[in-house]
Amino acid sequence: MTGRVLVTGGSRGIGAAIARRFAADGWRVAVHFHASPDAAAEVLAALPGSGHVAVRADLRDPESITRMVAEAADALGGIDVLVNNAGVFFDHPIDEVDFDTWLEAWRQTLDINLLAPALVSWHAVRHMGPGGRIINVGSRGAFRGEPHSPAYGASKAGIAAFGQSLAKYLGARGIAVTTVAPGFVETDMATQALAGEGGAVRRAESPFGRVAEPDEIAAAVAFLASPQAEWASGGILDLNGASYLRM
């Protein structure tokens, strides 16, 4: 299957890998970005095939989201798959930050990691027909807890529940909704966390002795976008190399 896909946060890291994978499989891709136009242009220029587009939006701004999804749908001629990938992570341990920092971390994290996917999805499903897909990029942090970034853990738990709620509702329209839950991935967002002794500890969490590559996450997302994955709707796919196991 090929079609039209919108990837939020598509200018770097996991999002860029997902955009590359879909383009390599013959899809037309809308690469969303916010503050990195040069990075988005670089990703766009490197995508195989034609008909791709970069679309800009501040995911904290509902009006910007509205314009971005409309621009993507217009450029692609519709949207078959939405990948809600964009996200932020701020350290804010409750005993180590003042109240204003705590409040701002929660506001920004929930706005971008949870509210924005809900708003993007609202617009995107209006361009989808039967066979459509929404794939949310969550985190193992939704299940194991994030003591230094509780807003992140809460937002990713929320995105898992959001995906399951949409799966129950949209299945009647032939639209499947799934969530992937990676552990650490070798991206620029994780560079600091994976450096030095801390990085060695995090790699040792997996029996494979490493963290994921972005292309491994992209491969799972590509499968979940396929017709063969319809029956996975409502599911949460752990992608953490057995570094965290849950029932």
Q: Please list the active-site residues.
A: 152
| Residue showing tokens 């997302």 | 221
Question: Which among 161, 58, 148 is positioned nearest to 105, based on CA atoms?
Answer: 148
Residue 69 and residue 6 in contact, taking contact as beta carbons nearer than 8 Å: yes
**CA neighbours within 13 Å on the CB side: how many for 175?**
26
Closest Cα partner for 110 from 135, 140, 88, 136? 88
Contacts of 127 (CB under 8 A, 6+ apart): 69, 73, 78, 79
| Parallel/antiparallel/unpaired status of strands 133-137 and 81-84 | parallel
Cβ pair 86, 116 in contact under 8 A: yes
